[in-house]
């Protein structure tokens, strides 16, 4: 076959291979973004071509450049914060996974009791209280009432020996705890309770927060954990 061009022949496979390659026009298109360099170039060009009899006031132009710089810095900072947030969520997920099977102290009202062993419970008050009473119950009703007396604001440990009000040893199972006392004005106040439990599963919520499912079946947030032990 005759050659159509002096330097290009039908036998030139490299030429035809190059012609058959797919091209992406967007990859070769100039950037549409206006950056600081382009902005300065526009300012310089405008000043070079201005009417000598009517010189331009560069103040507004420079103000726009400053605003652009601030916007660019803010955008970069937001991207950095987003990356840090994602990294923190990943780290929090790994930390939550290590809690599976661990014994924890959490803010709650249900705890697991093992027959023959004492259960250590923690009360938490926001102010000094008098006549503090702890009530332990199971599915059938009240099991034990413990008179604590007075307590200051903060935490106070309470041990339950596992015996009910009739001094009968209670079986292994799930029990609930309620505590209350009176303030200096004689008003009844609820006392916060912190109970021991074990972490069975860890769930990751859509917003990145972590929910722990305890041995009691209760679900609590990671922020509720007060103490962790093996």
Annotated domain spans of the chain: 108-196
Distance CA 135, CA 137 (A): 7
In eight-state DSSP terms, residue 224 is G
Give residue-wise pLDDT tens across range 45-54: 766 666 666 6
> Which fold is adopted by the domain 108-196?
Immunoglobulin-like (2.60.40)
Give residue-wise pLDDT tens across range 100-134: 888 888 888 999 898 999 998 999 999 999 999 99
From first to last of its 230 residues, what are the pLDDT tens digits of the chain?
444 444 444 444 454 454 455 555 555 555 555 566 666 676 667 666 666 666 556 666 666 667 666 766 777 777 777 666 666 666 666 767 788 888 888 888 999 898 999 998 999 999 999 999 999 999 999 999 999 999 999 999 999 999 999 999 999 999 999 999 999 999 999 999 998 888 888 887 777 778 888 888 888 888 888 888 87
Question: 3-state DSSP call for residue 106?
Answer: strand
In eight-state DSSP terms, residue 122 is E
What are the angstrom distances between the C-alpha of 37 and each of 34, 42, 123?
Answer: 8, 9, 64
Among residues 121, 133, 132, 123, which one has the least CA distance to residue 159?
121
Distance CA 105, CA 157 (A): 12
Is the pTM higher than 0.75? no
């Amino acid at each position: 076959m005759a050659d159509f061009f002096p330097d290009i022949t039908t036998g030139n496979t490299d030429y035809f291979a190059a012609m058959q390659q797919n091209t992406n026009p967007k990859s070769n298109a100039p950037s549409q973004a206006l950056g600081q360099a382009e902005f300065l170039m526009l300012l310089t060009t405008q000043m070079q071509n201005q009417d000598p009899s009517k010189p331009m006031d560069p103040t507004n132009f420079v103000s726009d450049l400053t605003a652009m710089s601030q916007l660019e810095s803010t955008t970069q900072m937001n991207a950095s914060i987003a990356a840090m947030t994602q990294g923190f969520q990943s780290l929090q997920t790994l930390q939550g996974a290590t809690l599976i099977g661990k014994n924890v102290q959490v803010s709650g009202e249900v705890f697991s009791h093992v027959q023959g062993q004492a259960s250590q419970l923690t009360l938490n008050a926001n102010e000094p209280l008098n006549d503090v009473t702890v009530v332990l119950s199971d599915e059938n009703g009240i099991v034990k009432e413990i008179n604590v007396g007075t307590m200051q604001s903060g935490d106070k440990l309470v041990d339950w020996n596992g015996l009910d009000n009739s001094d009968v040893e209670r079986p292994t199972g799930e029990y609930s705890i309620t505590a209350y006392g009176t303030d200096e004005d004689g008003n009844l106040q609820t006392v916060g309770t912190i109970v021991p439990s074990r972490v069975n599963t860890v769930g990751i919520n859509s917003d990145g927060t972590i929910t722990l499912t305890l041995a009691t079946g209760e679900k609590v947030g990671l922020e509720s954990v007060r103490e962790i032990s093996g």
